[in-house]
């Protein structure tokens, strides 16, 4: 594995026409967590999967939080920029186009922050159980970037109002947002998978 600024896994593309994916795990996950999901939703894509550098009670995360649902926004900004720099390194090392982020929970939140702070780092994003990462995010130009957001109506961590606000904010930045709210909690369901398969099929055309 090439030495880069994040511990990571990389799988080269077997279908070069398909976009590369940046896989971003949730709290307590690691660089192997979303590989199977990435292979399933976008078969043949190159997969780039870093491990978050923050440890919370021994569990990897991508940024610090002060409490559940309360983020250290200075750290969010720092870590989003650090991750965007890693993506630039990896693109150079592996010869990749800008990837589409596929993030769950904490990983979805850092991906949303990257869209707001470093929009050029990503070609788009699939955000599973994401919430607003920054209360006063700069206005980014996300023209031409597709974003899938899938939220849970009964998610105990993310109020529906919060995920709606994130979807509205990304739309106002000119992203092409598809926001689906499912009758489920914070965990992923079969319907999440079906939505992603459909959404990524368009990305690969």
Instruction: Choose the catalytic residue: 75, 174, 186, 189.
Output: 186
Q: Catalytic residue at 105?
A: yes
Determine phi and psi for 53, rounding to 5 degrees.
Answer: -90, -15
Q: Catalytic residue at 155?
A: yes
Instruction: Choose the catalytic residue: 25, 49, 155, 169.
Output: 155
Determine phi and psi for 146, rounding to 5 degrees.
Answer: -90, 135
Angle between helices 106-117 and 160-172 (to 10 degrees): 30
Instruction: Choose the catalytic residue: 42, 105, 151, 203.
Output: 105
Nearest to 128 by CA among 145, 146, 111: 111
Determine phi and psi for 126, rounding to 5 degrees.
Answer: -110, 110
Q: Catalytic residue at 163?
A: no
- So which residues are the catalytic ones? 105, 155, 186
């Amino acid at each position: 594995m090439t030495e880069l600024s994040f511990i990571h896994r990389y799988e080269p593309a077997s279908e070069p026409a398909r976009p590369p994916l940046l896989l971003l795990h949730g709290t307590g996950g690691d660089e192997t967590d979303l590989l199977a999901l990435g292979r399933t939703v976008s078969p043949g894509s190159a997969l780039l999967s870093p491990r978050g550098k923050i440890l919370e009670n021994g569990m990897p995360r991508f940024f610090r939080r002060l409490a559940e649902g309360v983020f250290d926004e200075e750290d969010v900004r720092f870590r989003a920029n650090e991750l965007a720099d890693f993506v630039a390194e990896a693109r150079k090392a592996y010869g990749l186009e800008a990837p589409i982020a596929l993030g769950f929970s904490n990983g979805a939140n850092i991906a949303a922050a990257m869209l707001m702070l470093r929009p050029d780092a990503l070609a788009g994003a699939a955000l599973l159980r994401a919430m607003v990462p920054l209360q006063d995010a700069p206005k980014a130009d996300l023209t031409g970037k597709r974003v899938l957001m899938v939220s849970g109506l009964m998610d105990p961590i993310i109020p529906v109002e919060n995920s709606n606000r994130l979807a509205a904010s990304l739309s106002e930045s000119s992203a092409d947002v598809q926001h689906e709210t499912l009758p489920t909690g914070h965990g992923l369901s079969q319907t999440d998978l079906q939505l992603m398969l459909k959404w990524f099929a368009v990305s690969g055309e």
